Chain A
């Protein structure tokens, strides 16, 4: 009996060791796919002497991939000897979470990709420029004449201490309400709700029919936070909203409280299974007709198109007519890249009229340049190009334009917690503290 006990314990120790080794191995294996992303371009013949160009992005869905491919096609025509490595990694939390993790690791580890997708604004500046990992692009801006073709506000967003650090390739509008045209007709409305009051009336009508009024992805904290920023724009107006990020507006302003109340009330009209839906699956909620409206950026347009969904219309998110909540994807030049010359050619293409007009109509975004060939864009995009010229432009929180990443993270946490606790006073107190930590206010 004694020996037997001993035997089993030693045996189990061995098995423990086996398990631990297996776990350790799998832990080591986990980050590997990052460097060799799925769908990496492998031409039949390796490039003769032009070297390589590794482009890192989170564009993996329908519409996005084709748009990126259109840019690659142009690049290959111009530089046939360069082999493009498409290192695209799926987004994760709806805004490139997984991709950012791999990127961060590679940047800190001194192995930057040749160029990578990053949201213009604090996401680029706070995460990479301040850490001294990016090259100043002033010369490129001067030689390509970009200072005259990109809107001034956009160049400011790309700049730190007066020097630009990335090239904006597109502009997305984040405050769009997508709605199901069939539901609207069934409810007897001839135009989509323009204010939150109208929206709640519409939501009541839909509730009677058993349709969720608002599409919500509750499994990720970030989705509702995106909705919330658009409500903030509605209740505060563009000027006070911008003030949230420079200390002029306090985060416990009555407008913030009002926005929280609207957010909480709007989620009572979410589709039935919203708590189990992840951001990545949200479009299916709309295309299947489970929910009637969705407040989401205009990349949705390209995704709906590629999904073959036709019964939809668009309007500014309730209460935000005349305001353009903007975000922009851009590419920059990390220090110490392996193929610097190829990257500079890539950036030139990204900033060129030809490149932007090839990329944006497919991506469902508008060009960052002010001189596009309008004939290439569809109705939605023409309207958006027009709106961008005439509307007040403000930056998105959730998409890295307005505030640094540390604040975005706190903001997401607070909004997600608010949805469960419904304690607006506590949430405002925490937002004030988070803004102070992030240096947005004194």
Chain B
């Protein structure tokens, strides 16, 4: 290849050079507006948010005086923020595991070439088209202590199964993840289904000829082959957990003693109820750092794949 290229450029050096230049110019022209937009609207604002978190802007009067890390220290020492971290851990655990397990199970079941597959696929992915607010309201009613699921249990004589659901003062947040997973699992299913369809039939056939049973086929071949998709699913659901706002706000509110409070709801109240812009910026910056911890390894691994 290299040889032929040298050969070609030796034949017509000017034509080749001009084409490279033109490609380069077009590429620059095409990319510049979005590079500028991204630089201003994403990175500049991220930097600005970090700066505000170090400033002294604690009323509705704008104040950019630099004060250092005081707001960060106060935030990390506050009870509400510590509850947010606890809730984030619980929420992420519940949301990520449900989405990935349910999404994978649904995808593998759909992959069995069943009748009416398109119908089921539509049904499973449909909740993804419903807004989080609608999901939250519907599940809020389902999980009200005196109506919905509890009433159903009672009518069926299963009263012992009754629960406080999202209003449980300790683990209420886990029940919110049932609603959000209901909404998001279909999307994860679509990811897995696309990947399962990409696995050539020969792989399965070869394994079966070698005497591999279904369990081992999934355990040792399919699931490892789906690892990249699982990685994507972890990043997606993890991001979803870090910035969740709407469904919590609609469904459970911040809960007693902030048992269902999340970083974003806390940030919202610091900003708009208390007018503490610097404190809100601390939470915002912290959310950016958490997201970066998830996304940067992902992007690096994708780049490595592409280079190979």
Contacts and interface: CB of A to CB of B under 8 A. Distances in A.
Interface in A53-103: 93, 97, 100-101
Q: Interface residue tally of chain B, by bracket?
A: 35 or more
Contact of B236 (A16, A408, A420): A16
B89 interface: no
Contacts of B198: 4, 7-8, 11
Contact of B60 (A11, A16, A127): A127
Contact of B145 (A12, A272, A419): A272
B46 interface: no
Nearest to A279: B253
Contact of A100 (B168, B187, B252, B273): B273
A275 B167 contact: yes
Given A4-B225, A11-B194, A12-B191, A221 B258 contact: yes
B195 A420 contact: no
A439 to B, nearest CB: 10
B191 A15 contact: yes
A209 interface: no
A6 B253 CA distance: 43
Given A8-B226, A13-B302, A406 B58 contact: yes
B273 A409 contact: yes
Interface string B146-189: 10000000000000000011111100100000000000000100
B255 A19 contact: no
Given A12-B228, A15-B232, A417-B79, A405 B273 contact: yes
B254 interface: yes
B1 interface: no
Contacts of B208: none
B269 to A, nearest CB: 6
Given A5-B225, A131-B61, A409-B269, A219 B191 contact: no
Contacts of A108: 60
Given A126-B59, A127-B60, A273-B167, A405 B258 contact: no
Interface in B233-266: 235-236, 246, 252-259
Contacts of B168: 275
B144 A405 contact: no
Contacts of A132: 61
Contacts, number: 152
A9 interface: yes
Nearest to B190: A15
B106 to A, nearest CB: 16
Interface string A411-422: 001001101110
B56 to A, nearest CB: 12
Given A126-B59, A406-B59, A420-B256, A276 B166 contact: yes
Given A219-B255, A419-B257, A104 B272 contact: yes
B292 interface: no
A218 B195 contact: no
B80 interface: yes
Interface string A273-315: 1011010000000000000000000000000000000000000
B253 A12 contact: no
A348 interface: no
Identify which of A26, A410, A416 gathers the most chain B CB atoms within 10 Å of its CB: A416
A103 B252 CA distance: 24
Interface in B197-229: 198-200, 203, 225-226, 228-229
Contacts of B229: 8-9, 12
Q: Which 4 A-B pairs have the closest CB atoms?
A: A420-B257, A409-B274, A276-B167, A101-B272
Given A127-B275, A409-B276, 16 more contacts: A4-B225, A8-B194, A8-B228, A8-B229, A9-B305, A15-B190, A19-B236, A101-B272, A132-B61, A219-B256, A275-B256, A406-B58, A409-B273, A417-B258, A419-B256, A420-B259
